[in-house]
Structure 1
Amino acid sequence: MDITIQMRSVEMLVKFLKHDVANISPYGYTLQKTRYLPEGGASAPLPRGVPEEQGVPSAALARFFADIGAEADTLAVHGALVMRRGRVIAAGCFAPYRAEVPHMLYSMAKTVTGIAVGIAADEGYLSLDERLIDIFPEYVNAAQAKILRAHTVWHLLTMSTGCRFNEVGSALDQNWERMFMESIPKFEAGSAFEYNSMNSYMLAAILRRRTGVSLTDFLRPRLYEPLGIARYDWEKCPQGVEKGGWGLSLTLEDAAKLGQLYLNRGVWNGRRILSEAWCRNAMRPQIKTPNGELKHGYGYQMWMADGEGSIQFNGAFGQYVLAMPKYDAVVAIYSGSANLFASGTLGGHIRKLFSSVSPRPLPPDPEAHAALLGALGALCYAPSLPDGLGTDAGEFRRIADMLDKREYALDNNTGGLFPQALQAVHGNFTAGCDMLRFEKRDGGLLVYFYEREERNALFIRPDGGFAQGRAAMKGEVQLTGARAVWKLLPGEIRLFIVCSFIETPDTRMISIEIRQNRLHIVFDERPSLGRVMDMLFELVGISQVAYIKRMLSEMRREHVENLVRSMTVPEADGTQIRQNDVFV
């Protein structure tokens, strides 16, 4: 069956490249983001403190935020929070991102699933030595009983099952439990580490079976409410079980609470959430990780960050919580980076920050603290923009007058307002953008994107600042923050729009060039879809696109390369179909 899964996965990726969106998933589209966030009451804030009182110079924190903000093209940090001794000493979001808006965690969700397993084990709902064949007997025949006889909950927690059924395979069948149980492991249980989100999914499925309630309902009175976590959303599989290994959204501050909970050894405001024994075992290396992202070992759904007891919760595209007992400190980061933590510069910036801390309070420095607060209030996500474009107000007024009420019909394309990576994660694919419309409104310019039955608009401010908005596709609503730069040339208008989907790591980069009655548009994004594609190929067991080229003998090499290019950075030409007779 596993060879079949891999071949079907390759077929699915080829359909993705060909934009055969109607046939990518065999079980169709299901709305994943079911809530419009932020929703519900505000989360309880963490205690605040003055940095110097906690032994940290305000100036060092200001440098830290300045340094990570300066690497917007690589680190692409959306928000950062630093705690010492249980108090927040610095926190800020880079506009247009907002502290009250939950953000997709990707694999950081695994740690929350691990916490749920710990609570359930403490309450007697399950034990770590329970065998999977006993928990899922309906999927076990004689052959599978022999193959999986040693696989336990512990092996799921420590990523040591060796299961071949992975995240990409989850798009091939509705019954993930059955697919997992029928997959033949790559190695003997517990003999090696291999990161696979389906291990975490199976933990969520076990919790539902053992407790009789959903993962979210189980955690609400036991974790969310005690920690004051009010805004959360967890995507579900086709069978209605939370995905476990991904799909959870939390605010940055609520994610930081999870790190502090482990530093507190499971106690929150005097109430025990997790047993001390669970925390001790979860925070120590249970298995070696020679081929893992981090090399210091893996505990219970978390990484060991160093050899000094630090732990790290990692999520794709730069979602991190780092808890450091050595410093009694927590650092939480949300971002939109394609770089891995171990190979990027973020770890160096964190080490530099904590090289300046003191075990004792420092002398007050009100001037440096005021400067820090000012800098935190002015943070802005500022990726590199095309040369020659700016925010000249006079040019903007002329551009808005010229474009008002113009409409352009686009050639067939695979572009859309939603970033391609976000479309792929939710299986929510556009049919392509077929028309653009421009309209003056409230001193700015609205750009309408028509994608068959969908219509979304981005508001461009005349000062080039971010405008908050929302975008929707097939019932999925996402909050956005958009800004633009522009240039008016003789016979030509250039617009470059940066549209951040602020609940996600993804940012759409849209380039528009208009000459007389013709328009050309390019849909790019950050993180780059090319990097996302590399991750997908690796998950399927394909390390290079060249492997696909060899397998698909009927497809010419240049054809495959063109497919990859057209899918990762879609382009389209447009013809004006409505005009206002204003042009320079």
Structure 2
Amino acid sequence: MEHYREHEIAKELGKINSCTKSVLAALVSIAIDKQIIPPPDTPISLFFPLLKEDQDPRKREITISHLLTMTAGFNWTEFGGQNSFPTMTRTADWIKFVLAQPLSHMPGTVMNYNSGCSQLLSAILRECSGQDVAAFAEDQLFQPLGIESYRWDSDPQGIHTGGFGLYMKPEDMLKFGLLYLQEGRWKDQQLIHSGTVQKSTRPYVAATLPQKGFYGWHWWVSSFHAGTEQQPNEIPYYFALGFMGQHIIVVPSYELVAAITADKYKKGSPANVFGRFIVPALLGQ
């Protein structure tokens, strides 16, 4: 089923904001599967030697997995302040800015939403693959899915933005969700190992901001209630979430994918489309 408040939205490239993170996670997953990127428990100091010289020895414990689950431990406020992604975007070197941030937690212990972690992953993918992230995406993901039109912003060093800045059409967001529903398979190709899809979308760590729930490898993980008080039944699902109300939602047990591009700040835009409309429809309410 499709519905557009404005018909032209169907063919326009829309900014998907932090849904970009989940696309990046897919690319990193592919690179790990193909042994282009080393295993998730690899310390990122392998790619960023500056960390070996840092006064805080805990930084040498940060791994690729910590970046994927946002548990690197950096003192980061994301949406405002001196250690936030808006401040990062005003610097001449985003990677150096992120790496220079102090740690507030031991790596692997606390989830702290951080687009800087995503930028480090983007840099690692570029270094390991020898390709720009967008070129790697075209070869390994976009062309197989038939995604022909997109736009992807870059940082001052030409590294594509890992945490935001990707523009896609709604139908292509849906294709991306369908790839995950099919556990990484598209037509006759296994683009991501099914085990990697399962690993990346399981709840690794509890989160409170900007969304209460659990976090996987750059995917949010949650559930909705489908039973009764006497017989509880929680239905798990996972989703990509963008700042202005973009969602790519996958509910495996219902074989459902929903792509939502509504801007929640615009007048007349429905709030919580999934919870208010889709879940009741699934439950026959």
TM range (shorter): 0.7 to 0.9
Q: Is the 8 A contact 2:16 2:164 kept in 1?
A: yes
Q: Say whether 1:335 aligns with 2:262.
A: yes
- In structure 2, do the counterparts of structure 1 residues 277 and 243 end up closer, same or farther at CA, with 3 Å as the change threshold? same
**How big is each residue's C-alpha offset from its partner over 1:285-339, in whole Å with a ceiling of 9 and x where there is no partner?**
01112x2344331111110131533111100111011111121011111111149
Aligned length, in residue pairs: 263
Give the structure 1 partner of residue 227 of structure 2.
none
- In structure 2, do the counterparts of structure 1 residues 142 and 284 end up closer, same or farther at CA, with 3 Å as the change threshold? closer
Q: Which ranges of 4 or more aligned residues in structure 1 deviate by more than 6 Å?
A: none
**How big is each residue's C-alpha offset from its partner over 1:547-573, in whole Å with a ceiling of 9 and x where there is no partner?**
xxxxxxxxxxxxxxxxxxxxxxxxxxx
Give the structure 1 partner of residue 106 of structure 2.
188
TM-score, scaled to structure 1: 0.43
Give the alignment partner of residue 295 of structure 1, picking from 196, 199, 212: 212
Q: What secondary structure sits across from 2:110 in the alignment?
A: coil
Give the structure 2 partner of residue 210 of structure 1.
128
Give the structure 1 partner of residue 184 of structure 2.
266
Give the alignment partner of residue 253 of structure 2, picking from 319, 326, 333: 326
Q: What is the deviation of 1:96?
A: 5.3
Q: What secondary structure sits across from 2:3 in the alignment?
A: strand
Q: What secondary structure sits across from 1:92 in the alignment?
A: coil
- Letter of the 2:27 counterpart: A
Give the structure 2 partner of residue 158 of structure 1.
69
Q: Is the 8 A contact 1:288 1:296 kept in 2?
A: yes
CA distance in 2, matches of 1:136, 1:345: 40
Q: Say whether 1:198 aligns with 2:116.
A: yes
CA distance in 2, matches of 1:166, 1:131: 23
Give the structure 2 partner of residue 137 of structure 1.
49
CA distance in 2, matches of 1:333, 1:140: 42
Give the structure 1 partner of residue 280 of structure 2.
352
Give the structure 2 partner of residue 566 of structure 1.
none
Q: Is the 8 A contact 2:264 2:271 kept in 1?
A: no
- Letter of the 2:66 counterpart: H
- Letter of the 1:188 counterpart: M
Q: Is the 8 A contact 2:88 2:94 kept in 1?
A: yes
- Going by fraction, where is helix more abundant, 1 or 2? 2
Q: What secondary structure sits across from 2:280 in the alignment?
A: helix
Q: What is the deviation of 1:134?
A: 1.7
CA distance in 1, matches of 2:265, 2:3: 21
Q: What is the deviation of 1:142?
A: 4.7
**How big is each residue's C-alpha offset from its partner over 1:406-456, in whole Å with a ceiling of 9 and x where there is no partner?**
xxxxxxxxxxxxxxxxxxxxxxxxxxxxxxxxxxxxxxxxxxxxxxxxxxx
Q: Is the 8 A contact 1:283 1:299 kept in 2?
A: yes
Higher relative contact order (CA 8 A, sep 6+): 2
Q: Say whether 1:172 aligns with 2:99.
A: no
**5+ residue gaps, structure 1:** 1-89, 358-584
**How big is each residue's C-alpha offset from its partner over 1:451-482, in whole Å with a ceiling of 9 and x where there is no partner?**
xxxxxxxxxxxxxxxxxxxxxxxxxxxxxxxx
Q: What secondary structure sits across from 2:97 in the alignment?
A: helix
CA distance in 1, matches of 2:195, 2:211: 24
CA distance in 2, matches of 1:345, 1:224: 28
CA-based RMSD of the aligned residues comes to 1.9
Give the alignment partner of residue 310 of structure 1, picking from 217, 237, 249: 237
- In structure 2, do the counterparts of structure 1 residues 287 and 94 end up closer, same or farther at CA, with 3 Å as the change threshold? same
- In structure 2, do the counterparts of structure 1 residues 167 and 320 end up closer, same or farther at CA, with 3 Å as the change threshold? same
Q: What is the deviation of 1:268?
A: 0.2
| 1:24-173 paired onto structure 2 within 5 Å | 90-95=1-6, 97-126=8-37, 127-138=39-50, 140-144=52-56, 146-163=57-74, 164=76, 165-173=83-91
- Letter of the 1:185 counterpart: L
